[in-house]
Structure 1
């Protein structure tokens, strides 16, 4: 573990964590997979889709869980960003509309690109998702039904490689993909010295829980997607 090429702990839940690890390996880095959260289906039933004019996905995981729960693929899929849209295309949804940004940006995108007759939407997401998207869309004249198909649960522990890297006292970087992921990581890392650990988060919102503790530094991507997260990481490495 050199000072210039520190290990990078990936806290993202699977299967996304492995995808992030592949990108890190392609950058010549050493990823240590240690998901802080585990995703689980909630057993919710998918409603009759005949009255809906479209599906709204705010994560690639939402696409995956819906694809497991339903064979429906012909309703327009409105996706929060490129990763979510790519997953929708892989699962066979058509047409797929891609926004760029957060839930507020997606609501604005839908409102300004809508051409369907029914303005009733089904939003598939994590059970802990905030109601910002629903509120913004309803203010724009849509009816939104929220379908929490899955939930994120805190992992039992960090893995031994990740713990070893943090305890080594040498420079270590942790990638954070969500606010809930940051909170889960801090709970799992309770009692550890994080003053040599730097955090690179996908957004300032995701980074917020980390601002209250002593760390080696907290950095947030300029835009909430994987490409900008990697760009932020590269900047941190270059300045290290």
Structure 2
């Protein structure tokens, strides 16, 4: 890793908890110092789960969806269809079985489900996600003849402020790199950081979609992961760090 005379850049993690702590642990293992400043806070919603016997499976498009479902229900009898490795790992940890894992975004998950569905199994699924879910999975699968119900068990709310250390880093005349895990997280971070000049701040995002809100501001550069998961996000970060 190259370092400038001013030292390595400050890494700011904006992911909501408990994911932020998981990212922080991986950065620590990499020997990379960091600041935790979640831009979003997760909160449960007053939603009631429907009768699960009506469904042939559950769809999870985030590990948080798994966590909030696990808090709301002890039922683990339905197959879990998960968007990627982090979500699938959480489903395994919560004792779901079987757990099916795609390796991409919501579009990839819908394609994966449609092409791995047993012909004689009813095409009825329950999607658990946050209230801001764009409905990509529902729309794509319904075009394949599935019936998808959606229950938003939680929502992501903007944090009240940046962490003090993060504010100091952004205000100082030093290089900073902000990690972005979602487009909603990017929007929330920009709202919290509107008083700061971000023209020297670099961003590493988990996907091109997550990077879109950043097009509205002048930054020190935006690098999107080549694949929308944590491994590729940290791989992209390593490449950015190597150029500092």
TM-score range, shorter chain: over 0.9
Q: Which of 117, 121, 124 is the aligned partner of 1:117? A: 121
- Confirm whether residue 143 of structure 1 aligns to residue 147 of structure 2: yes
- Residue aligned with 1:107, SS: helix
Alignment of structure 1 residues 63-212 onto 2, 5 Å: 63-115=66-118, 117-212=121-216
For 1:213 and 1:169, how far apart are their aligned partners in 2? 18
- Residue aligned with 1:50, SS: helix
Q: Which of 49, 54, 75 is the aligned partner of 1:51? A: 54
| Structure 1 residue 4: Cα displacement | 5.0
For 1:7 and 1:187, how far apart are their aligned partners in 2? 20
Q: Which of 13, 18, 25 is the aligned partner of 1:15? A: 18
For 1:110 and 1:93, how far apart are their aligned partners in 2? 17
| Structure 1 residue 113: Cα displacement | 0.5
Q: Which of 25, 39, 42 is the aligned partner of 1:39? A: 42
| Structure 1 residue 132: Cα displacement | 1.3
Q: Structure 1: where are the runs of 5+ without partners?
A: none
Provide Cα deviations, 1:107-148, integer angstroms capped at 9, x if missing partner: 000011112622100000010000111010001111000010
Change (3 A) 1:4 1:100: farther
Aligned-residue Cα RMSD (Å) equals 1.1
Q: Structure 2: where are the runs of 5+ without partners?
A: none
For 2:8 and 2:45, how far apart are their aligned partners in 1? 40
Which structure has the higher relative contact order (CA within 8 Å, separation 6+)?
Answer: 2
Q: Structure 1 length as normaliser, TM-score?
A: 0.98
Q: Which of 212, 234, 239 is the aligned partner of 1:235? A: 239
Q: Structure 2 length as normaliser, TM-score?
A: 0.96
| Structure 1 residue 30: Cα displacement | 1.0
- Residue aligned with 1:118, SS: coil
Judge which range, 168-177 or 206-215, deviates more: 206-215
For 1:79 and 1:186, how far apart are their aligned partners in 2? 29
Q: How many residues align?
A: 240
